[in-house]
Structure 1
């Protein structure tokens, strides 16, 4: 008899649970994530050839934070072809590309050249010829040097003079533990705080700077910098595929909830692992705390404003 009573109780409990689930679904309490499928501006791409970034080809990227490994392409031709395929797949209409001169002739309508590791005279000449959209990435972080070091001042001076934005790379630098097995022996966490840019911004008030990789993991300091310096933006490149999704979303939500959703820009930092573009797009699209308008800001509108795209150009890109 006891067995029959227990069976009846379980059966009734199951019916009650199912009824509640049905009521929740009917009442619309399920979380519905609206996916953005409009045009995307990627603010952080790399073009390589045998002379620039050649050592990267064929290198896989193990990511212990997510227990994943990303497969590296083996040739410059493969890198370009596979990256362009991802552009088409995800409707990436513009890509601010470090060393973009390597790819510019193949896709002049998509590639915006960002100059890096070049003499000042070469940068100036490219700008005068109308072929330079930004200076960067500036990455003294790998040499143990911060933004306010005297060695960096000429680049910020030139960018302000030419009215060009600067992309400044901080953390993360290389894969987890790269200090020990990637020859990055000068990288130090103490040099990764975005506050290092403060004197640069104050002394160059007309200069637009964006912090590459979002200033992660210094969320509070990044919020303070955005509050104090309205000319400062950030991209979420690399952290949108190397970090666990929950960590990226926590960081992103902290910025958006603080009112800085209009200065966050999408980027991938795609090097030789094209699949990371897929992961990065999904990382933003899967954020259930973002409205479709906020996703559009991150994927397109904020970068369009930062790059001073004309209304005509924006309209053209959004109609594609």
Structure 2
């Protein structure tokens, strides 16, 4: 009898989404080399509290002071582990499609390992060395470029309307592929981190996209990290430009939960729940995917319909998935 009672409890007491998860689209995933980050580095999810430590500016920054939680998540120790653990997380949470940016060769390796249509290939620009427009055209023709981004302009201290990037936005509009651009916070204490010297918080204003959107009215563009913390500016831009979407990546799992929920609720209350995309911004910590999904699931102010829109429906519309593709994603 005890065994039967246990089985009945599992079937009747477990939430439906835990028994059979509905599909998810992750609009912001990375296939980075694992050795870019020290292997096994811990990271605190936002629901455990994230603290930016105070330190003497004459002293060397101690990054260990950022980890002040009981249950951190850990970065992968090799390229293969990063790939395999990330793909396992995608399967676990029924992420059917994931826009994935990184070195072209690594993205191709992840696509092969994942099989099917799971990995949607993205190519970055706005880095210190960008691919030429001709190279991007070749990648697109070969099926290796479906989304142009992440655009790392803010990490270079550059504005989106800088003339040197005009050809990239024009190409995306011509090819009718989306652009994902970083606007928002960088790593904590970015001004003190070697390699991030060019990053400028002041280059994260959503208003800097205005001229790009006016020049390219047919361009599908989404702002990664929703221009955090400049939510009012983002709302003003979305109100003005109907082809502008946002994703919630990184902020959804790594930022203080109260801050993230405040920003998300403000965008939803402003009427933009149909233009908010789920993204994890998984880089080196595969468990970030699950942490990000749980953050949306636990949001007390979101209805079931709004959660489904953020998790899947908005991205399906933004990516222009066909009815057949949507139906395939919903097959279990």
Q: TM-score range by the shorter chain?
A: 0.7 to 0.9
Superposition map of 1:81-100 within 5 A: 81-99=84-102, 100=107
Q: Does 1:229 align with 2:241?
A: yes
Unaligned runs of 5+ in 2: 1-14, 52-67, 126-130
**TM-score under structure 2 normalisation?**
0.81
Provide the secondary structure at the position in 1 that maps to 2:122.
Answer: strand
1:186 to 1:209, Cα distance in 2 relative to 1, 3 A: same
Superposition map of 1:1-320 within 5 A: 37-49=21-33, 54-56=35-37, 58=39, 60=41, 62-63=43-44, 65=50, 67-68=68-69, 69-99=72-102, 100-109=107-116, 110-117=118-125, 118-174=131-187, 176-320=188-332
Cα separation, 1, equivalents of 2:170 and 2:141:
16
Moved over 6 A (4+): none
Unaligned runs of 5+ in 1: 1-32
Mapped contact 2:277–2:310 kept (Cα < 8 A): yes
1:196 to 1:157, Cα distance in 2 relative to 1, 3 A: same
Provide the secondary structure at the position in 2 that maps to 1:113.
Answer: strand
Listed one character per residue, the Cα deviations across residues 231-281 of structure 1 (whole Å, up to 9, x for unaligned) are 000110000011111111111000001100000000011011112112111
Cα separation, 2, equivalents of 1:282 and 1:38:
13
Provide the secondary structure at the position in 1 that maps to 2:159.
Answer: coil
**TM-score under structure 1 normalisation?**
0.84
Provide the secondary structure at the position in 2 that maps to 1:103.
Answer: helix
Count how many residue pairs are aligned between Structure 1 and Structure 2.
284
Provide the secondary structure at the position in 2 that maps to 1:116.
Answer: strand
The farther-off stretch of 261-270 and 115-124 is 115-124
Cα separation, 2, equivalents of 1:94 and 1:182:
34
Cα separation, 1, equivalents of 2:138 and 2:248:
30
Root mean square deviation, CA, Å: 1.8
Mapped contact 2:35–2:77 kept (Cα < 8 A): no
Shift of residue 190, structure 1, vs aligned partner = 1.0
The farther-off stretch of 263-272 and 103-112 is 103-112
